[in-house]
Structure 1
């Protein structure tokens, strides 16, 4: 039995099958069984100020080095697992592959001295598929702030025992932020404040992985300045304008405004405001813990990929699946990191 929280309702106990049925109906929820006290340590949301973007001289050279080559190669492999469902054997195998790929990217792109600032670690979970946290330590001895960029690594079919390639949901976000990480370390990025890249397990199970991580950070009083979630970054619906969907509900409004400014300054496409509802991705875990969080998606919610949670969430299903569109989100992640974490000379 699991304790499940839905918007505006008291938590209720239900079985895993009942959770699956909720998912099949498109109902968003948090499985709070192991994180019932998330957010209780802080009675009010933390507030942070976000200055207008002003680091173009640092950001723009990195943007020119970003490519679709790595994301395409990585996503072909990442979506080839039968499923990345968090309770499955292949879910565990896909996580181990991702961990090894991140380590490979680090070894191939970070200078020897920069590698001393980087840690690549698993955040363990009882269900076997662990979350992954990569940290680039800040150089400041007085600023303990952390900037977090996240995506979820797991996938699911509407019925979890069926295949779930999860190319867009959220294989796209996973390789999008990996490309941003590669570009940053290849540029010898040395942040003033720490920057972390997170790949969460079990988002599809009710934000389980991100709740566990956020709870650990809350307990340790980690000073998370801002968190940005990348969930589905590949789909451009035929006949629509290519754009970045900026989620405006259940997010930090000031950080969301900052994200809009980043899109205007650094991306080649515009943004559109959109909503996705309660607990629709891992940013919700951080918001519940009291931290400023934001969420960007591939388009307005109504124009997003309708093949998710099925065998058809593949990279070859349609020309609407676009790696060049994903590249715009890698640019956004780079800008988010540099603008908020600073660059130590």
Structure 2
């Protein structure tokens, strides 16, 4: 195993050298304190199953399709709390605000998503320990700020904050208070990584640039609602863009640990990770659909999501599984908050170009991303107006 690891590392180093030669004006070369072999990380591979690894072993696990949480900073294993806050939550049995949501849906714009995704993928990598990863988060923050400023929501009580982390790249939280502190969270992750060597080119168009711009466009449409902008919705809405998902759900764990310690009242969290790839679904003769994850999620919230898709999307959903710690919703679940996760397709047919230089915009369907934006918008508005 060690000899194989050394071979992979050697090949990766050679590839990195070629990348530096070809893209010297863009490549980010690790500093001494960023060496991937000097640090050990505590990861959790399944609930309660932990081990210490070097960073290059993380990427080897990724290449082998093994998912994990990095719990080095928190030492909290899954679940951190046995008391789920979802036990007493009753979600609406069906959508109740169709007229309002469908009017907002008309403002969704695929061109906006493309523009933002082109900007996001222009960074050499969004690896959470790289300078371009830091810069990408700041750039995204500025795009989000422009949207909120244009809506006038800052004139009420909306806020936009960077959530700092020890590794450099910040997460981003946009908050739109309602009449109660009951909070609905819509999430995606802003980082990317190349699984062969983290400082290589990693455009991350689908993973998770697609989810990042999908929830941004849904937020843009949601802010066409006066009730959301002026704070008269029943519940508070937060949009999260997480740092360092690829490193083991690091950013989202930090946020939900903080929320748990503060006693925040999170009624629902939904994650959008990969929303644009449908080639393999169609190649296998399957209908285009939205993938609804059924493992390591809250069943009642997931049922609510299914109802949202049925009413607000033009395509059906398919039930699928993705395993332990497959995206940031797992961090919400870990700290006792009800979570759901929606992906671009049946997990079997999801994008296999991720974590490489070939995760590019040209392979994505913005029409499909629009369906995810419709779902996100419907979810956000219906949950914002629900009485819990």
Could you tell me the TM-score, scaled by structure 2's length? Answer: 0.84
RMSD between aligned alpha carbons? 1.6
Q: Does 1:255 align with 2:301?
A: yes
Task: Encode CA deviations 1:58-77: one digit per residue, 9 max, x unaligned.
Answer: 21110111110110000011
Q: Which has the larger radius of gyration?
A: 2
- Residues matched between the structures, number: 336
Deviation, structure 1 residue 269:
0.5
**What are the ranges of 5 or more consecutive residues in structure 1 without an aligned counterpart?**
none
Would the aligned equivalents of 2:41 and 2:54 in 1 still touch at CA under 8 Å? Answer: yes
Task: Encode CA deviations 1:8-29: one digit per residue, 9 max, x unaligned.
Answer: 5532122112212111211000
Would the aligned equivalents of 2:80 and 2:334 in 1 still touch at CA under 8 Å? Answer: no
Partner of 1:223: 265
Would the aligned equivalents of 1:39 and 1:290 in 2 still touch at CA under 8 Å? Answer: no
Deviation, structure 1 residue 41:
6.8
Match of 1:77 among 104, 119, 123: 119
Would the aligned equivalents of 1:189 and 1:343 in 2 still touch at CA under 8 Å? Answer: no
Partner of 2:74: 35
Q: Does 1:201 align with 2:243?
A: yes
Task: Encode CA deviations 1:127-161: one digit per residue, 9 max, x unaligned.
Answer: 110000000011x2xx3200000000000111212
Q: Does 1:57 align with 2:95?
A: no
Partner of 2:218: 180
Give 1 or 2: higher helix fraction: 2
Distance between the aligned counterparts of 2:161 and 2:48, measured in 1? Answer: 36
3-state SS of paired residue (1:186): coil
After TM superposition, the structure 1 stretch with the greater mean CA deviation from structure 2, 335-344 or 198-207, is 335-344
Partner of 2:17: none
Distance between the aligned counterparts of 1:161 and 1:126, measured in 2? Answer: 18
3-state SS of paired residue (2:211): helix
3-state SS of paired residue (2:173): strand
Distance between the aligned counterparts of 2:118 and 2:238, measured in 1? Answer: 25
Partner of 2:201: 163
3-state SS of paired residue (1:265): helix
After TM superposition, the structure 1 stretch with the greater mean CA deviation from structure 2, 190-199 or 49-58, is 49-58
The alpha-carbon distance between structure 1 residues 118 and 198, as it changes in their structure 2 partners (threshold 3 A), is same
Partner of 1:87: 129
Distance between the aligned counterparts of 2:147 and 2:383, measured in 1? Answer: 23
Deviation, structure 1 residue 45:
1.5
Deviation, structure 1 residue 44:
2.0
Distance between the aligned counterparts of 2:84 and 2:214, measured in 1? Answer: 29
**What are the ranges of 5 or more consecutive residues in structure 2 without an aligned counterpart?**
1-39
Partner of 1:328: 371
3-state SS of paired residue (1:17): helix
Moved over 3 A (4+): 37-42
